[in-house]
Amino acid sequence: MRRTPSVASRVLSERTDHQVWLKCENLQRTGSFKPRGAYNRIANLSAEERCNGVVAASAGNHAQGVAWAATQLGIPSTVFMPANAALPKVVATKAYGATVHLGGETIEDALDKAREFAEQVGATLVHPFDHIDVVSGQATVALEILEQIPDVETIVVPTGGGGLIAGVAAAVHVLAPHVRVIGVQAADAAAWPGSLAAGKPVRAQAMSTMADGIAVGLPGVVTFAHVQSYVDTIVTVSEDALSQALLLCMERAKLIVEPAGAAAVAALMTCAAEELNLRGPVCAILSGGNIDPLLLTHVIHHGLRASDRYLAVRVTIPDRPGGLSRLLGVVSQSGASVVDVVHQRTAGTLALDEVEVLLTMETRGTEHRNAALAALADAGFAVTVQD
């Protein structure tokens, strides 16, 4: 297992008025915190259980964690993954030593297959979060944070099924009970707020987020008990916030983080101070960095738009020589950079002497974006901003 670093973040420290550190679990073996729990769970198996091997169901990080941990311990592993699992994660899981079976459309389908396999061959099912050995393994993240940042007073944790935050909160409760623990979920895939309000695990009504690593519809029984007892609060963040956080990690910390792994940073960037109630030095856990390159490209563009660094407009101009040149001249004078231009005469709302221009520009943020729009308006152009 790798002891991951905690690095200071000046930009987040300035934004929050608290010293902020990033716990880089994206640099852990297999690219996430998952091997900690998987290794502890598998290491505690009896000799007979080890002979029968282990099985897991996952679309990504847990699959790789189980495969790596089992191989390290000399135990055969089998992983069931949905048919649409990202190719890099399938390849990595196989490379870590697991036998991989693809099938079904969802994690639930894969889990059904894993349970059937366990019953047929006697393999031990390694749950991604809802087992005390898994929770105990994830608690080692908190042990390292307390050693690396002795004066830490707030820890912010990406939260899905609850294995990581349960382990962190339990360790902190025993060793540093003054430390505040905050969980973060994607707003469009948040099962914890409703569950805590109901006093029991309750399935979320919707699961729609780019942060698939924390998109868990139903909290575990084991993890719920820990979170209910030891976690101070759970907050939610938007998809825009997640993409902006991922972009900030890349640009300012030089760290590749998946959307779920950036959830804690998203909360520090966008949640109100009174909602977080930060105390003292803060540690935000970057829980994983396994992101498909195609998704990374999409999220980067999403983050640039959410940060007002892309501006797309629809402009109608006269259909005569020099019309487009004049428009682009105004853009140039504003300091914006043209990314894309689409010039069309066939829109149904156009008059015979008009042309519609779809223009995408790169700007330096909200202030510059507004200045570019003002320059176009001052030049007499009727502009419609495109979302």
pLDDT for residue 131 = 96
pLDDT digit string (tens) for 55-76?
Answer: 999 878 999 999 999 999 999 9
34 flagged as catalytic: yes
* Contacts (Cβ under 8 Å, ≥6 apart) of 214: 158, 159, 160, 185, 186, 189, 260, 263, 287
Q: Exactly one of 58, 77, 136, 287 is catalytic; name it.
A: 287
User: Cα 220 vs. chain centroid, distance in angstroms?
Assistant: 20
Of 113, 112, 108, 109, which is closest to residue 99 (Cα–Cα)?
113
User: How far lies 365's CA from each of 12, 128, 211, 333, 378, in Å?
Assistant: 17, 40, 24, 17, 20
Q: What is the mean pLDDT of residues 11-16?
A: 96
Residues 171, 172, 177, 179, Cα dihedral to 10° = -170
Distance separating the N- and C-terminal Cα atoms of the chain: 44
Higher pLDDT, 344 or 79: 79
pLDDT digit string (tens) for 256-280?
Answer: 999 999 999 999 999 999 999 999 9
Higher pLDDT, 343 or 240: 240
Strand-pair partners of 162: none
Angle CA 160–162–163, to nearest 5: 115
pLDDT for residue 146 = 98
Give yes or no for residue 387 having a pLDDT over 80. no
186 near 34, Cβ under 8 Å?
no
Of 262, 61, 277, which is closest to residue 161 (Cα–Cα)?
61
Q: Exactly one of 34, 113, 136, 334 is catalytic; name it.
A: 34
Kind of pairing, strands 233-237 and 124-125? unpaired
Q: What is the mean pLDDT of residues 90-100?
A: 95
254 flagged as catalytic: no
> Which segment of 153-162, 239-248, 318-327 scores lowest on mean pLDDT?
318-327
Q: What letter represents residue 127's amino acid?
A: H
- pLDDT band at residue 347 using 50, 70 and 90 as cut-offs: low
Give yes or no for residue 15 having a pLDDT over 70. yes
* Contacts (Cβ under 8 Å, ≥6 apart) of 368: 308, 334, 335, 336
pLDDT for residue 348 = 62
